[in-house]
Structure formats: structure tokens, C-alpha cells
């Protein structure tokens, strides 16, 4: 286990900060040095705010000295670049918002600032969170720290790569169809999508409003629970925010899963799942059995096969509506060389959006258009209800469902850019949790040719405590989460 400060977990750093044998300024400097050292190769950031971060670290040290420190005080973190940060560019890795500086903070940013966490900068992503490889970023592609010729996953590829490479102790991403869990799997870190509505979306740049959820990326499950503690809770500014009480998620990390009912849905082990991935996941389920869980290897979710096609109706439809606001008038990129208002609008969108964003806008606009709405969007909504009901029925029999996170390990940069359908299939295991609005987590469970493999666990809505308990018990019985890439 490396002793370098940049490879500390959040809970290890917190103990050292509170013991006062390490200051937040020292820790932040170590992370900034690490960014300077490896960022030219990894490219996990869009923006680094060095002076602001050091200023926040000084404030955090004052808080710690005064005995007024919380679990995240003085901890250097990164935010995905679609989470609003007052006074700091929030670009969504798009030319459309390349120079946009929000006048306000997202709810999660407010909560981290209130706890005096240190924000190092903004993580690279697929443009407007549309992609599975971070190759759709208008700024630059991010490279996987385990193999710089491979993708880190997406759309939260910058956050996952930053945590894996030691460029942040933790990060926040957004997950619309797997965009936290899939890159966590490909980069060998822990990534979690909370229950829809548990974390406020206020200040998250909208992609698909009925699917988007902010979630943590971290080195281990304990850190994931600490970050979730810091960002979860009701927010009246988000109409979908749940008014349910938020427990201390770290208290659920008991290590005891005796009697836990685990279902392994066979529909997730389909053609396209690499043999090494399937083998690693099945070995991981064996570990859960050894820890006292009861496993049903013949669990079935037959409607799973429809999750991917209905996602690619619902998500583009909502993105088509949400991205209509980028018209070159109110904010963002505006085409100046135009003949009149309609020409300006068309050219703004032509030059401001990248090809994948345009593709999804067109798909969504078609699905919502007159004569097709009933056939596509309305029908997709009905199938979504059936998938949600199927999960609810399954969770009467099982406490958690276990699947691969991604059907493959990290693929080479450029391998799927010419085949959008192959790229979309990267999220086949993660999308159902977003469709149903349930929590899901990815934890490292193996390696294939030097590349990490992720194990996904899903639980019923607001079942985060059970989910984290199961993930933590598995993690502590194995050593995969302790591995670090050699950069």
C-alpha cells in the first residue's frame, strides 16, 4: 500500500488531519503536485483552481485547530464539470459552455463548502454527460491511469481517472445511465449512484431530468459512505428531492452480511460480456457466499433486455428538451456571423455542440415529434413502469442483486468512436438501475490483462445502508480496492 499522501483514502486523511500530524495545506499541496506530475498523461481535469484550493485548505486548518471540523473538512476533492461552482468555469466539456462561469453553487457544492472540503478543480467528461468513454469531451480525451492507451469510461471519466491516479481523494460525478459506475469499474475505484432524489440535482446541468443523479467516486466503500453523508438530503429547490431522513451511512459498514439474500440475474451474463469479467463477478459472488450470504444463481429479470432501448428513447427525448435552452441568446456560445436570428440560432447549435450531442438531440426530437410521441416516448414510459415493478417484485425475494458493472474492461481509445451502437452497449448493465430509480454501486472485483473489473450491486429504493453494508463486506474480504496504477 503506497504511503504517498495522494494515495490516502478520505478516512485515513481525516484521521491524520484530526490528529494534527498532517495539515490540509500539506495534503492539498501534495495533491496539486501530483496533478502537475501526472495530468499531462491522464488529462482528468478541465480546470484546476490551485490558489483557491490552497486558500480553502488554510481555512480548513483554522477550523480543525478550533475543534470545529467535520468528516470532510480539509479533504481535497474534485467535481465533475457539469456541477455548478460559483466563480469557477462549469463547461460540461462543451464549446457551448466553454467560457460559462456560474453565479451560484450547486446544492452539493454548497454542502461541501459548508463542511470546508477543499475543491481542487473540475473533472473532464463526455460533452453534456453524453458518452461512455470521455472521448466526446470537446476539451480533450481522458486516459485510463492503468493503461494510457485505454479509455477511463464515461461520462464521469475525469472523476474516475482522477481518483485512480491520485489526483483527488474523491470526486462527485453524475450518473444518468451508468456514468459514475461504469468509469469506476474501468478505473478500479468505487462509484455509487444513489436512489433518484436522495441527492439534490439543483445546479447539476440537466441531461435527462428523470434519470440524472449525482453520486460519489472514491477509493473504497467507507469513503463512498462519507461522501454520501456529505451530499445527501432534502432540498426544496429540486422538485424531485426526497424529504426522507438521511442516516449516517458509515454506521451500516459492519462487515456482517450473514443471511443477506443475494440474487444473480442471469440476463446480465449475456453475449458481449467478456469471459474474464464473468469469471471475476462469479468469484466475487462466491466470496459473498463464504461471508454467509444466501445466493440464488438463477434469479431472473426478463424485462432487463428492454432497458437499453427505452433508455435511448427517454434520455435523448429529455436531452432534446433540456438542451433547447442553448440558443446563443441567454448565455454560452453565440454565433456572431449570421444573417438574422434564425441563422444565428442554427449556427450557434451547429458549432457549439459536438456530434454525439447533436445525434441525441435529433433522436430525442424525432421521438417527441407529432405522430411519433405515442409510438416512442409514451410507450417507453409504460415499459419503464413495468421494469420498475419487476425490480420491486425482485426485492421482495432478495436484499441485493449482483451483476457485472461493465460487460468489458477498458477498451482502446478510438475502438468504438465510429460505432455508436457498440458504445451504447457499454452501459447495458448499469442502465436498468437508472430506469428504476434504485441505488447501485460498483466495487473493484478483479483484473484482466492489467485492467480493473467492477462488481455491481443494486438495492431497493432508499436501500443505501444495505447496499453499502454488502459492498463493504465484500471489499474488506478482498484486496482489489488496495491496488493502485503505476503511473
Please give the positions annotated as active site: 80, 155, 179
Measured CA to CA, the distance from residue 146 to residue 164 in angstroms comes to 8
Half-sphere exposure of 70 (CA within 13 A, CB side): 14
Beta strands at 170-174 and 118-123: parallel, antiparallel or unpaired: unpaired
Chain centroid to CA 7: 20
Cα radius of gyration rounded to whole Å, the chain? 21
Rounding to the nearest 10 degrees, give the CA dihedral for residues 19, 23, 27, 32.
Answer: 170
Element (H, E) at 359: helix 355-368
Measured CA to CA, the distance from residue 208 to residue 18 in angstroms comes to 40
The C-alpha angle 145, 50, 333, rounded to 5 degrees, equals: 85
Three-state DSSP at 487 gives coil
Measured CA to CA, the distance from residue 440 to residue 438 in angstroms comes to 7
Measured CA to CA, the distance from residue 432 to residue 444 in angstroms comes to 20
Work out the end-to-end distance of the chain between its first and last CA atoms, rounded to an integer number of angstroms: 15
Chain centroid to CA 113: 20
Give which of 174, 30, 18, 178 is closest to 107, Cα–Cα: 174
Spatial CB neighbours of 227, under 8 Å, sequence gap ≥ 6: 10, 72, 77, 170, 172, 216, 218
Strands (E), 116-224: 118-123, 170-174, 190-193, 214-218
Spatial CB neighbours of 439, under 8 Å, sequence gap ≥ 6: 192, 193, 194, 195, 198, 433, 458, 459, 461, 462, 463, 464, 467
Give which of 17, 52, 18 is closest to 32, Cα–Cα: 52
Element (H, E) at 308: helix 307-322
Measured CA to CA, the distance from residue 98 to residue 90 in angstroms comes to 8
Amino acid at each position: 500500500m503506497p504511503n504517498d499522501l495522494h494515495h490516502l483514502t478520505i478516512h485515513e486523511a481525516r484521521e491524520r488531519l484530526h490528529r494534527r500530524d498532517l495539515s490540509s495545506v500539506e495534503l492539498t499541496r501534495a495533491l496539486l503536485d501530483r496533478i502537475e506530475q501526472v495530468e499531462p498523461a491522464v488529462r482528468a481535469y478541465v480546470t484546476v483552481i490551485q490558489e483557491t484550493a490552497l486558500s480553502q485548505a488554510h481555512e480548513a486548518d483554522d477550523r480543525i485547530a478550533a475543534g470545529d471540523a467535520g468528516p470532510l473538512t480539509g479533504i481535497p476533492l474534485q467535481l465533475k464539470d457539469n456541477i455548478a461552482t460559483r466563480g469557477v468555469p462549469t463547461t460540461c466539456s462543451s464549446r457551448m459552455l466553454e467560457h460559462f462561469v456560474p453565479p451560484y453553487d450547486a446544492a452539493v457544492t454548497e454542502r461541501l463548502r459548508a463542511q470546508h472540503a477543499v475543491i481542487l478543480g473540475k473533472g473532464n467528461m463526455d460533452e453534456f454527460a453524453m458518452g461512455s468513454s470521455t472521448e466526446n469531451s470537446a476539451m480533450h480525451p481522458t486516459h485510463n491511469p492503468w493503461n494510457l492507451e485505454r479509455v477511463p469510461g464515461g461520462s464521469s471519466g475525469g472523476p474516475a481517472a482522477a481518483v485512480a491516479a491520485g489526483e483527488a481523494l474523491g470526486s462527485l460525478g453524475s450518473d444518468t445511465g451508468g456514468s459514475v459506475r461504469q468509469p469506476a469499474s474501468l478505473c478500479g475505484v468505487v462509484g455509487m449512484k444513489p436512489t433518484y432524489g436522495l441527492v439534490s440535482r439543483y445546479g447539476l446541468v440537466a441531461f435527462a431530468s428523470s434519470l440524472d443523479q449525482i453520486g460519489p467516486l472514491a477509493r473504497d466503500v467507507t469513503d463512498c459512505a462519507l461522501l454520501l453523508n456529505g451530499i445527501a438530503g432534502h432540498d426544496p429547490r429540486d422538485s424531485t428531492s426526497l424529504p426522507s431522513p438521511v442516516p449516517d451511512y458509515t454506521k451500516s459498514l459492519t462487515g456482517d452480511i450473514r443471511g443477506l439474500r443475494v440474487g444473480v440475474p442471469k440476463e446480465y451474463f449475456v453475449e458481449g460480456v467478456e469471459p474474464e469479467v464473468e469469471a471475476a463477478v462469479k468469484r466475487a459472488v462466491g466470496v459473498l457466499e463464504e461471508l454467509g450470504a444466501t445466493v440464488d444463481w438463477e434469479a431472473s429479470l426478463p424485462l432487463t433486455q428492454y432497458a437499453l432501448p427505452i433508455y435511448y428513447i427517454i434520455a435523448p427525448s429529455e436531452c432534446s428538451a433540456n438542451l433547447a435552452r442553448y440558443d446563443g441568446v441567454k448565455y454560452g456560445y453565440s454565433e456572431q456571423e449570421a444573417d438574422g436570428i434564425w441563422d444565428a440560432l442554427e449556427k450557434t447549435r451547429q458549432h457549439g455542440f459536438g456530434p454525439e450531442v447533436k445525434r441525441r438531440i435529433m433522436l430525442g426530437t424525432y421521438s417527441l415529434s407529432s405522430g411519433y410521441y405515442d409510438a416512442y416516448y409514451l410507450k417507453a414510459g409504460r415499459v419503464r413502469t413495468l421494469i420498475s415493478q419487476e425490480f420491486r417484485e425482485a426485492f421482495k425475494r432478495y436484499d441485493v442483486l449482483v451483476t457485472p458493472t461493465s460487460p468489458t474492461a477498458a477498451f482502446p481509445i478510438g475502438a468504438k468512436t465510429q460505432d455508436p451502437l457498440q458504445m451504447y452497449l457499454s452501459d447495458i448493465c448499469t442502465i436498468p438501475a437508472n430506469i428504476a430509480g434504485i441505488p447501485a454501486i460498483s466495487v473493484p472485483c478483479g483484473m484482466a490483462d492489467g485492467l480493473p473489473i467492477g462488481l455491481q450491486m443494486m438495492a431497493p429504493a432508499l436501500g443505501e445502508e444495505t447496499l453499502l453494508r454488502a459492498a463493504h463486506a465484500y471489499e474488506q474480504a478482498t484486496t482489489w480496492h488496495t491496488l493502485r496504477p503505476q503511473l
